[in-house]
């Protein structure tokens, strides 16, 4: 069975602070993919990143960075110098193995950035 745990329910920061969102996953598959999605107040889910289990290189995209560590089954997401527009719910998700078509989502972390 696949499972994604986002232990942080809510995080509140002041603008320009860095914020790190934790994601821990469980899977028995050797090949799997991890994802992050953003859900702003408008409601749509916005795809941010997909990583496969064989690529542990960290990735940076603008103010966003991701740290993938297979040894701890974690795929953490950091927003550097947060802005009010970063306020959203962020979801980590997993697919792979016999569930290679569907995303198993975590419960989400609500990030509030205050001006």
- State the residues that interact with other proteins by CB under 8 A: 32-33, 35, 37, 42-47, 50, 52, 91, 95-96, 100-103, 105-108
Closer to other proteins by Cβ: residue 52 or 72: 52
CB of 13 to other proteins, least distance (A): 23
CB of 44 to other proteins, least distance (A): 4
Closer to other proteins by Cβ: residue 97 or 114: 97
Distances (CA, A) of 57 to 50, 51, 89: 12, 9, 25
Instruction: Compute how many other C-beta atoms are within 10 angstroms of the C-beta atom of residue 29.
Output: 15
CB of 66 to other proteins, least distance (A): 14
Which of the 8 DSSP states describes residue 41? T
Measure CA of the first residue to CA of the last residue in the chain; give whole Å: 41
Closer to other proteins by Cβ: residue 106 or 113: 106
- Which 3 state secondary structure label does DSSP give 61? strand
CB of 75 to other proteins, least distance (A): 14
Distances (CA, A) of 48 to 30, 35, 51, 114, 115: 23, 7, 10, 22, 24
Closer to other proteins by Cβ: residue 13 or 103: 103
């Amino acid at each position: 069975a696949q499972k994604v745990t986002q232990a942080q329910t809510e995080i509140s920061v002041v603008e320009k602070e860095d914020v790190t969102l934790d994601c821990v996953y469980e899977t028995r598959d050797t090949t799997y993919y991890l994802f992050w999605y953003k859900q702003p107040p408008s409601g749509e889910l916005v795809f941010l990143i997909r990583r496969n289990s064989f690529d542990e290189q960290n990735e940076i995209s603008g103010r966003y960075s991701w740290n993938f560590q297979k040894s701890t089954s974690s795929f953490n997401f950091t927003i550097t110098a947060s802005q009010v527009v970063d306020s959203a719910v962020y979801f980590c998700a997993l697919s792979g193995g016999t569930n290679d078509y569907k995303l198993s989502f975590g419960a989400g972390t609500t990030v509030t950035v205050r001006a």
